[in-house]
Amino acid sequence: MEGIKEADATLYDWLNQIPAKTWSKAHYSGRAKSDIQLNNMCESFNKQLVGARDKPVITCLEYIREYMTKRIVIVRKMVSKAAGPLTPNATKTFEDIKSEASQLSVLTVDAHNYQVTSIRSQCVVNAKYKTCTCRMWDLTGMPCKHVVAAINDMAINNMNVGIPEQWVSEAYWLKTWKNVYDNQIMPIPSEDYWMPSQCPTTLIPPKHHKHVTLKLVLLNNKRV
Please report the pLDDT score of residue 3 as a whole number: 86
202 falls in which pLDDT band (50, 70, 90)? Answer: confident
Question: In whole angstroms, what is the distance from residue 153 CA to residue 96 CA?
Answer: 18
* Domain assignment of residue 129, yes or no: yes
Q: Which residue has the higher pLDDT, 171 or 201?
A: 171
Can you tell me the distance from the alpha carbon of 51 to that of 28, in angstroms, rounded to the nearest whole number? 36
What pLDDT is recorded for position 37?
67
Strand partners, 124: 115
DSSP state string for 41-95:
HHHHHHHHTTTTTTS-HHHHHHHHHHHHHHHHHHHHHHHHH---SB-HHHHHHHH
Cis peptide before 85 (omega within 30 of 0): yes
The number of folded domains in the chain is: 1
Residue 161 placed within a domain: yes
- Residue range of the domain that includes 139: 96-170
157 assigned to some structural domain: yes
> Over the stretch 81-106, which tens digit does the pLDDT of each residue have?
998 899 999 999 999 999 999 999 99
Q: Is the pLDDT of residue 215 over 80?
A: no
pLDDT at residue number 222 = 57
Query: Taking a C-beta distance cutoff of 8 angstroms, is the pair 80, 93 a contact?
Result: no
Q: Contact 21/28 with Cβ under 8 angstroms?
A: yes
Which tops the pLDDT comparison, 47 or 147? Answer: 147
Report the interhelical angle of 88-101 vs 145-156 (nearest 10°).
Answer: 70
pLDDT at position 205, please? Answer: 82
Q: Would you say residue 33 lies in a domain?
A: no
Q: Within a domain: residue 152?
A: yes
Q: Flag whether pLDDT at 26 surpasses 80.
A: no
Residue 182 has pLDDT above 60, yes or no: yes
pTM of the full structure: 0.74
| 176 occurs within a structural domain | no
